[in-house]
Structure 1
Amino acid sequence: MSETPAIEAEGLVKHYGTTKALDGLDLTVGQQTVYGLLGPNGAGKTTAVRVLATLLRPDGGRARVDGHDVVAEAAVVRQTIGLTGQYAALDEYLTGRSNLVMIGRLSRLTTRAATRRADELLERFGLAEAATRAVKTYSGGMRRRLDLAASLIGNPSVLFLDEPTTGLDPTARALMWDIVRELVADGTTLLLTTQYLDEADQLADRIAVIDGGRVIAEGTPAELKASVGGQRVLLTLAEAGDAAVAVKALQAFATGSIVPNGRVSDHGDRLLEVPVIATDGLATEVLRALDAAGVGVSDIAVRSASLDDVFRTLTAAEAADEDEDKAELAEEAAV
């Protein structure tokens, strides 16, 4: 395996008018891995992909793909990459095979080579039987598979997948996951942006959480989950009015903020989530502390931290820091 990173970004900056979409983004992606980019809407994920894929020119910093500068050697970079965007870039009135052959010809393959490659990919992605049908008759999952096949016409060493499973049903998503794993096994490097945290957890070797156009955390899924506390205690209180007393009693166990868990809406503020370090007998100790405080509990559960916890914790902390900075600036301006 080459020691040269598949993707490197150093201090990338990109503005849209007064909006700073990228604000010093740093990334290093190893060869033959899946690297996940997570972040809220507007965090800069798609802008980062477009810069790395040479579709946008950065306003600052630099980036390389397979050792080639995305600005100075853009033409070379385009020969080594594939890109699947959020929406299928296909001609709906052409057949699946015709779409792939057309893209192959645009990639400077001969008609014979483009047709051979198209047939290989149609077979690989389970689309051979639909090859002669117009794309407008394809299901959403079939379109996404054909779009991915189109991005592989040129046998790219690096593939950018920008929310590739958005809108797909669970079966189609699972199929796409299998395809991604096969691509990595065959030697492809993938940069994946996704809104599905379970998808990143399943597929990514490493993950960067970005917000405000910069990386706020990076590591393996296990490392990121450990960084926000390895376990969560979920409590359903018998009475909603006991929440404040319960929070006070639980502070001795918490490794971070105790918050209402809105994922079970019918419980309202009766449901609390407590980040903890798991120990033997933890649930019993928590119940004893609440009982001593006069708080009744209807249900208790302990689970491992998830990427959802990482995402919520990190982006909430980032928002709090931004609010604090704005308050400081306002105070300085008033002096």
Structure 2
Amino acid sequence: MVYLPPDKEPLDWNTRMKIAAGAAKGLEHLHDKASPPVIYRDFKSSNILLGEGFHPKLSDFGLAKLGPVGDKTHVSTRVMGTYGYCAPEYAMTGQLTVKSDVYSFGVVFLELITGRKAIDNTKTQGEQNLVAWARPLFKDRRKFPKMADPMLQGRFPMRGLYQALAVAAMCLQEQAATRPHIGDVVTALSYLASQAYDPNAPVQHVRSNSSTPRARNPAGWNGDQRSVRSPNHHSPDPRRRDAAGASKYGAEVSRTSSTSDSGRRSGLDDMDLTGSQVGSPAQTGRRREAPRGTDRQRAVAEARTWGENSRERTNGHGSFDSTHE
């Protein structure tokens, strides 16, 4: 998809998001529309065909397998697929679920964002495996801009880059249960694909200091430093503490995904498509932060007035009037 001959123009940001959203919709059809669900099992970039207008179509279903039915959580099968795209739990145990496809999708999506191959033996030792190279970078949002494909030459929305990398990081979580359902990924990527970016806009230069755009992503991750907290932070909101703990690879998960179809939850469930989570405790918690500046002075004055009035009422009720005895 991305590896074009030297004489061809590289795919722009809009096209890449369109391809990712379309490929995710293909997986959604297999996972959620088919009964029983179909696990693609060998999802990789070379199996995505691009038609007119870069419309993606999935091909080569030779390794596809019917998913678990009834109360089964997985199917056990001989490990097959392509190195660099296989989910770790499938490669180690042979246990296959639809979340295995979500991991593979995360690898392909990361390829689209970075312009790198899943496995590239021409790179230095620490950069040959795309996911292994990306994991440390996911932990530091200041390095996100450096993960963008150099062929884009800075022609991408910085906010969109942050959002896309957050989605990729969630898909690539090592624990299958914490990965989002593919339907949630489709929702997030459809939003990104709808945000048209002018490739002729001024190039965005990456700064190496700690100043980074305060962009929110569809996973509920906020670029504001205050919302990125350590798992041991004493927050009044347990969901927020859980999210911080799950952000091991740079993206927050609001609640561990359920393996059942009914009432399923993932880190993408509560979002509105501007990037903030609708009605989430994290959002209401921010509204309840202690006031600052003028607001703090007003709050102190109101508290003092309330205290004085309260004391007056107490003294009035507690006084002894001999005329009423």
For this structure pair, what is the TM-score category when the shorter chain's length is used for normalisation?
A: under 0.3
Q: Which has the higher strand share?
A: 1
For CA contacts below 8 A with separation 6 or more, give which structure has more relative contact order.
Answer: 1
Compute the TM-score of the two structures, normalised by the length of structure 2: 0.23
